[in-house]
Every structure is written in structure tokens, then in C-alpha cells.
Amino acid sequence: MLKKILGLAPKLEADGSYSPSKFALKTGVPDKTDFENISYQKYKGKKSKILVICTEEKNLKMKNGKYFSTGNHPVESLLPMLHLRNAGFEFEIATPTGKPAIFEMWAFPKKDEQVKAIYNEHKANFEKPIKLSDFIGNSFDQPDSYAAVYIPGGHGAMIGIPEDQNVGKILRWAHKNNLFTISICHGPGAFLSTTLGNQAFLYKDYNIAVFPDSVDEKTPMIGYLPGKMPYGLSEKLKSLGANLMNSKMDKTVCLDRKLITGASPLASNELGKLAAKTLLEELKS
């Protein structure tokens, strides 16, 4: 009751899940982003496509049995896409089974016209994405048409995607064909899929920026999460041999070989800039 009075209680949704408290939304969800509208020299080659793997799942079960109302974080998804679009790249939106991509609409920056515009531009594809098995069947023989695979953040990236064999296949396909892999925040949960079937972790010894477990541990106190996370993502990646480049929820971004990662929603703009610049330089050469 005291948490409700203070605005620290997570909000109960109609489906029984919980979205962040009023306090968490006020302090942690800005209504406008720090997007920089940079004029890039647009890429005009044949490797113009970027596969975006979104989650189609909404509810993440916490250790206490409560469900967090999540999905793809809109800023972590759309800000990097803005930079990449402005650099001349186009997107194929995919989800594991072809169900609509789910967004944390409570985190949508309502006063950011640029983010609104790119969301509306791709809304039809978010609502009717391709399924991963179709991508594997139809596009694995066309790696020369692709520049990168992008996995947005949001806690929803930890539902099903780390256990999806098709995600692992696509990440290994991208690695084998020298494509870039881009991810942010909890998106690197997808990297766990490369260990399925007792395979070696694809990103062992890579430098990775990822959302720190220490922050996830604290957010239930302000009602952002309705309980403790089911497991610590950053520690799991570290145990598999990844080198973690950040310990805070900050703007850290990292480029290691063909892997580009960002630490948190605060890094979305920096990740977009790094990804756009890196892809343009690589494909020019």
C-alpha cells in the first residue's frame, strides 16, 4: 500500500502482467531521445539489407512468479534504425514464428517525431514480419545482399530468443559470411542461442557491451521490474567467455571485429552512429 501511495508499485495490466511504476516511468522513460540527425553519404551498393530480429513475446516471468510486461524497447529498436536508414540501409523485420513484433509502448518517447516517423514507416512490417525459418529457407543463399543482423534490446529479447535454434543458425550464418551483428542492452541474450546443441559460444573472447545485472537487481525497488530477473544475463555471457565492457547503465558502445554492441537505452544513439559509420566504411573498402 505504501508503494502505491508513493508511486513505486508496478502497474497491473489487464493480462495479469506488470508494467513499470509511475515513479519508474517518470525517472527512467524520457519523452524525447538524444537522436542526432546526421547527414551520411548514403550506401548505394548491393549489400543494403539488414535483418532485424524482434521478439514476439510480451511477458517475462520473474523469479517471484510475476510477469513483466515487456517486448522490444522502442528507443533501442528505432534509434539505431534511424541512423542506419539515413546511411542508406533497408530493413527486413523478422520474429521467431512470424507473429507481430511486440513493443514496450509504455517506453515510447511520445514527443520524439523522428522516432514516431520511423515506427510508422515500418509499422506494417512490425505487424506482419517474416518468420525466421522462412528467412533461413529463402535468404541463406543470398548473403551478398545483407550487411548485418540487428537484435534490438528490451527485456523481451530474453523470452524464447536465447533458446531458439533458428536464431543461433542466423548468427552463425552472419559470422560465417562476414556480416556484422549489432545488438544492445538485453538483446545480446540472443547470443546464448549459439551454444544450443552443445556448440561452442560464438563470441568467446569478444568485447561486449550489455545491460548490467547490478541494475536489474536494483530496479524492483522503484517498481520498474515486478521482481528479480530469472537469471543474470551479463554474468551468463561473462561465464561463457565474453569480456564485459561496462558495469553501469550508460552510453558505452563497443566494436569488436564484426560485433557492435551497446550497454543500455542510453547508448541507442551512439550505437546507431557507430553502426552506420562502421558499415559505411567497411562496405566502401
C-alpha cell at 120: 510508422
CA 125, 210, 246: angle at the middle one, nearest 5? 145
Residue 4: its pLDDT value, please?
63
Q: Which residue has the cell 509499422?
A: 123
Residues 6+ apart with CB under 8 A from 66: 10, 17, 18, 226, 227
C-alpha cell at 166: 533458428
Catalytically annotated residues? 185
d(CA 284, CA 255): 18
Question: What is the helix (H) or strand (E) element at residue 269, kind and residue range?
Answer: helix 268-284
Phi first, then psi: what are they for 226, rounded to 5°? -85, 5
pLDDT along the chain (285 residues), means of 10: 69 96 92 95 95 98 97 98 98 98 97 97 98 97 97 97 98 98 98 97 98 96 95 97 97 98 98 98 87
Q: Which residue has the cell 542526432?
A: 36
d(CA 75, CA 16): 25
CA 148, 150, 151: angle at the middle one, nearest 5? 155
Tell me the domains of the chain and their CATH numbers: 47-284 (3.40.50.880)
Strand pairing class (90-95; 49-53): parallel
Q: Are 85 and 118 in contact (CB under 8 A)?
A: yes
Closest CA to 152 of 49, 267, 254: 267
Q: How many CB atoms lie within 10 A of CB 14?
A: 6
**Cα distances (angstroms) measured from residue 39 to each of 26, 201, 255:** 32, 37, 22
d(CA 271, CA 204): 21
**Cα distances (angstroms) measured from residue 48 to each of 81, 99, 269:** 13, 25, 21
